[in-house]
Amino acid sequence: MSDVLAVAEHRRGELRDVSYELVTVGSQLADATGGDLHVAVVSGDVDRYAEELDVEGVDTIHTVEDGEEFNHDVYAQVVEQLYDAVDPQVLLTPNSVNGLDYGPAVANALDLTYVSDAVDVELEGSTLTATREMYGGKVETTTEVEADAVAVSIRSAEWPATEAAGDAVVESFDATIDESAVKSTVTGFEEVGGGDVDITEADVLVSVGRGIEEEENLDLVRDLADALDATLSSSRPIVDNGWLPKNRQVGQSGKVVTPEFYIAIGISGAVQHVAGMKGAENIVAINTDPNAPIFDIADYGIVDDLFDVVPALIEEFEG
C-alpha cells in the first residue's frame, strides 16, 4: 500500500526518455512513503527494456509480453491487473499522447482520482501535492489529493532522467487479456509530411507563430527569412490553419530543431512548442507580451510589435 507503480513507455523499439523521468519521480515518492518503486513495461521487447530500465531506485520491474506496440485496450487491462497485484499508493503514467490514451481509462475503471500533466509532485503522509499549470501556462496551481487512490500523469522533461545502474528484480507478469475487449487495432505508423525542406538541418530558423494574425502577413516573415538566408518554420497554429505545411512545424508533435539561431516571431512559447526548440544555441524572441513564456528561455528579446520590428530588421539586412 506504500508502493509506487510507474508505467514505462516505448515506441518502435525504443524506450522513451519519459520512462527514466518516471523513475526519478517514482523513486522520490517511494522514498517519501518508505515503499518500493515498481516499474511496468508492457509489449514489445520487454526483456531488453527491463535491462535498460534497471536503474537506481527501481525495486521491481514487471515485464508483460503482449503484442509489439502500444494498444490502449491491452495497456488498460494490464495496468489494471498490475495495480491490483501491486496495490500501490500512487500510479504514475507519462502525460504523453499514449499515456493520455489509457491513463484516464485506468483511473476511471479503478476509481482513482486522476491528476494529469503534473510538473511537480510531492507526497506527505496520505496527501499528494501536485503542481499543475492552468490557462495555457499563465498560472500554476498547487493541488492536493488523498494519495491512497490517485493516478498522476507527469509532464515529460520536467524531471531529470535516472541513469545510474540499479539492481532491480525483474518479474514476468502474466496478464489475462480479454481479447473481446480489444476493439482497436493499430495498423501502422506514418511520418509527418516530408516535403522539400528539412528544418532540422537549418542553421538559422525564422519561426512564426499566432502573432502573425493573417496568412498574407506571412510574406513579411518570408522576406526576413530571405534577408537572413534563413529557413522558415512555425509553431502549431500556423500549420493548423493550413498556412504552412506540416514539415515546417516545430514542437512536441512536430520537429525537434537545434539551429544556431532560432528567431521566434509572435510565438508565445507554449510548452509543446518549447519542447521542439529549446536546444537551439541562441533563441531570439520578438513578442508584444512581456510575460510570454518564450522570454523565459530566450537569450535575446524584443518586447514590441512584430509588424514594426520585422520590417526594421529586414531594412537592417537589405537596406
> Which residues face 40 on adjacent strands?
7, 62
Q: What's the closest the beta carbon of residue 191 comes to another protein, in angstroms? A: 6
Assign 170 to helix, strand or coil.
strand
Nearer residue to another protein within complex by CB, 37 or 106: 106
Phi, psi (rounded to 5 degrees) for 314: -60, -45
| C-beta closer to another protein: residue 37 or 154 | 154
**Residue 49 C-beta: closest distance to another protein, Å:** 18
Residue 51 or 198 with smaller CB distance to another protein: 198
How close are the terminal C-alpha atoms of the chain, in Å?
70
CB of 169 to another protein, least distance (A): 31
Grid coordinates given for 196: 522539400
Toward another protein, which CB reaches closer, 99 or 166?
A: 99
The answer to whether residues 204 and 231 touch, using CB atoms and an 8 Å cutoff, is yes
CB of 133 to another protein, least distance (A): 6
d(CA 225, CA 197): 14
Shortest distance, position 39 Cβ to another protein, whole Å = 20
Contact 118, 59 (CB under 8 A): no
> Half-sphere exposure (CA, 13 Å, Cβ side) for 282?
10
Cα dihedral value 272, 115, 19, 77, nearest 10: -120
Q: Of the two residues 146 and 213, which places its CB atom closer to another protein in the complex?
A: 146
* Phi-psi domain of 186 (left: phi exceeds 0; alpha: psi -120 through 50; beta: other): beta
Nearest distance from residue 58's CB to another protein, in Å? 24
Q: Which three cell numbers stand for residue 101?
A: 490514451
Distance, CA of 38 to CA of 26 (rounded, Å): 8
**Closer residue to another protein, CB minimum distance, 62 or 248:** 248
DSSP state of 296: H
Q: Which is nearer to another protein, 96 or 207 (CB)?
A: 96
Least gap, CB of 319 to another protein (angstroms) = 10
The three-state secondary structure class of 67 is: coil
